[in-house]
Amino acid sequence: MRIPTSLRGFLILFIAIFVIGYAIFVGRNYILGVSLYVSSPKDGEALTSSYLEIKGEAKRTTRLFVNGAKTFTDKTGFFSYALLVPSGYTIIDVTAEDRFGRSTTVRREVYYGGKQTTSTAPSTATSTAR
Protein backbone atom coordinates (compact mmCIF):
# COMPACT_ATOMS: atom_id res chain seq x y z
CA MET A 1 0.00 0.00 0.00
CA ARG A 2 1.42 3.34 -1.06
CA ILE A 3 0.68 6.67 0.58
CA PRO A 4 -0.46 9.28 -1.96
CA THR A 5 2.15 11.99 -2.58
CA SER A 6 -0.18 14.78 -1.46
CA LEU A 7 -0.77 13.02 1.87
CA ARG A 8 2.96 12.26 2.20
CA GLY A 9 3.79 15.93 1.65
CA PHE A 10 1.18 16.94 4.22
CA LEU A 11 2.60 14.49 6.80
CA ILE A 12 6.17 15.72 6.22
CA LEU A 13 5.02 19.34 6.58
CA PHE A 14 3.06 18.49 9.75
CA ILE A 15 6.03 16.67 11.32
CA ALA A 16 8.40 19.55 10.40
CA ILE A 17 6.06 22.14 11.95
CA PHE A 18 5.69 19.98 15.07
CA VAL A 19 9.46 19.57 15.47
CA ILE A 20 10.11 23.30 14.97
CA GLY A 21 7.30 24.21 17.42
CA TYR A 22 8.63 21.80 20.02
CA ALA A 23 12.17 23.18 19.63
CA ILE A 24 10.88 26.72 20.18
CA PHE A 25 8.87 25.59 23.21
CA VAL A 26 11.86 23.85 24.79
CA GLY A 27 14.22 26.73 23.96
CA ARG A 28 11.90 29.54 25.07
CA ASN A 29 13.82 30.04 28.33
CA TYR A 30 17.01 30.57 26.35
CA ILE A 31 15.27 32.80 23.82
CA LEU A 32 13.48 34.98 26.40
CA GLY A 33 16.32 35.23 28.92
CA VAL A 34 16.12 36.61 32.45
CA SER A 35 13.31 38.94 33.50
CA LEU A 36 13.87 41.10 36.59
CA TYR A 37 11.60 43.82 38.00
CA VAL A 38 12.25 45.63 41.29
CA SER A 39 9.04 47.25 42.58
CA SER A 40 10.44 48.66 45.82
CA PRO A 41 12.37 50.85 46.48
CA LYS A 42 12.09 53.30 43.63
CA ASP A 43 15.29 54.80 42.25
CA GLY A 44 16.28 57.98 44.11
CA GLU A 45 13.84 57.35 46.95
CA ALA A 46 14.40 59.21 50.24
CA LEU A 47 13.86 56.79 53.10
CA THR A 48 12.27 57.65 56.42
CA SER A 49 13.57 54.53 58.17
CA SER A 50 16.80 52.57 58.04
CA TYR A 51 14.79 49.36 57.54
CA LEU A 52 14.25 48.72 53.85
CA GLU A 53 12.37 45.88 52.22
CA ILE A 54 13.42 45.20 48.64
CA LYS A 55 10.59 43.63 46.65
CA GLY A 56 10.23 42.51 43.08
CA GLU A 57 9.71 39.74 40.59
CA ALA A 58 12.26 37.56 38.83
CA LYS A 59 11.29 35.13 36.09
CA ARG A 60 13.36 32.41 34.45
CA THR A 61 16.14 32.67 37.06
CA THR A 62 18.21 30.12 38.90
CA ARG A 63 20.13 32.52 41.15
CA LEU A 64 19.14 35.86 42.66
CA PHE A 65 21.41 38.22 44.60
CA VAL A 66 20.81 41.47 46.51
CA ASN A 67 24.12 43.29 47.02
CA GLY A 68 25.92 39.97 46.61
CA ALA A 69 23.81 38.09 49.17
CA LYS A 70 21.87 35.15 47.75
CA THR A 71 18.11 35.32 48.11
CA PHE A 72 15.22 33.25 46.79
CA THR A 73 11.94 33.65 44.97
CA ASP A 74 8.67 31.99 45.81
CA LYS A 75 6.92 29.64 43.37
CA THR A 76 5.44 32.55 41.40
CA GLY A 77 8.76 34.40 41.07
CA PHE A 78 8.27 37.13 43.68
CA PHE A 79 11.01 37.97 46.14
CA SER A 80 11.44 40.08 49.25
CA TYR A 81 14.69 40.94 51.01
CA ALA A 82 15.11 42.96 54.23
CA LEU A 83 18.06 45.31 54.52
CA LEU A 84 19.22 47.85 57.10
CA VAL A 85 20.73 50.83 55.33
CA PRO A 86 23.19 53.22 56.95
CA SER A 87 22.70 56.97 57.01
CA GLY A 88 23.54 58.57 53.72
CA TYR A 89 23.57 57.43 50.14
CA THR A 90 23.20 53.69 49.42
CA ILE A 91 23.42 51.73 46.18
CA ILE A 92 21.44 48.49 45.96
CA ASP A 93 22.21 46.01 43.17
CA VAL A 94 19.75 43.20 42.45
CA THR A 95 21.19 40.59 40.06
CA ALA A 96 19.40 37.61 38.52
CA GLU A 97 21.08 34.78 36.58
CA ASP A 98 19.55 32.08 34.43
CA ARG A 99 20.77 28.53 33.94
CA PHE A 100 22.65 29.54 30.79
CA GLY A 101 24.88 31.96 32.72
CA ARG A 102 23.24 35.13 31.43
CA SER A 103 22.47 37.79 34.00
CA THR A 104 20.75 41.11 34.40
CA THR A 105 21.17 43.71 37.15
CA VAL A 106 18.83 46.41 38.42
CA ARG A 107 20.42 49.21 40.43
CA ARG A 108 18.54 51.35 42.92
CA GLU A 109 20.01 54.39 44.64
CA VAL A 110 18.38 55.47 47.89
CA TYR A 111 19.09 58.04 50.57
CA TYR A 112 18.47 57.76 54.28
CA GLY A 113 18.98 60.94 56.29
CA GLY A 114 19.16 59.20 59.64
CA LYS A 115 17.68 60.44 62.88
CA GLN A 116 18.11 64.09 63.59
CA THR A 117 19.65 64.31 67.02
CA THR A 118 19.57 67.50 68.99
CA SER A 119 22.06 67.97 71.74
CA THR A 120 20.63 69.03 75.04
CA ALA A 121 23.39 70.92 76.76
CA PRO A 122 22.98 71.28 80.49
CA SER A 123 21.45 74.53 81.50
CA THR A 124 23.92 77.14 82.70
CA ALA A 125 21.29 79.08 84.63
CA THR A 126 21.31 78.46 88.32
CA SER A 127 18.68 79.22 90.83
CA THR A 128 19.38 80.23 94.35
CA ALA A 129 17.00 79.39 97.12
CA ARG A 130 16.52 82.05 99.83
Give domain status of residue 83, yes or no.
yes
CATH number reported for the structural domain that contains residue 89 in this entry? 2.60.40.10
Give domain status of residue 117, yes or no.
no
Give domain status of residue 57, yes or no.
yes
Give domain status of residue 103, yes or no.
yes
Give domain status of residue 108, yes or no.
yes
Domain hosting 45: range is: 34-112
What are the pLDDT digits (tens) for 76-127?
999 999 999 999 999 999 999 988 888 999 999 999 987 644 444 444 444 4
Give domain status of residue 68, yes or no.
yes
Q: Domain tally for the chain? A: 1
Torsion of CA 46, 81, 65, 56, to 10 degrees: -70
Bin 9: left if φ > 0, else alpha if -120 < ψ < 50, else beta. Answer: alpha
Its pTM stands at 0.69
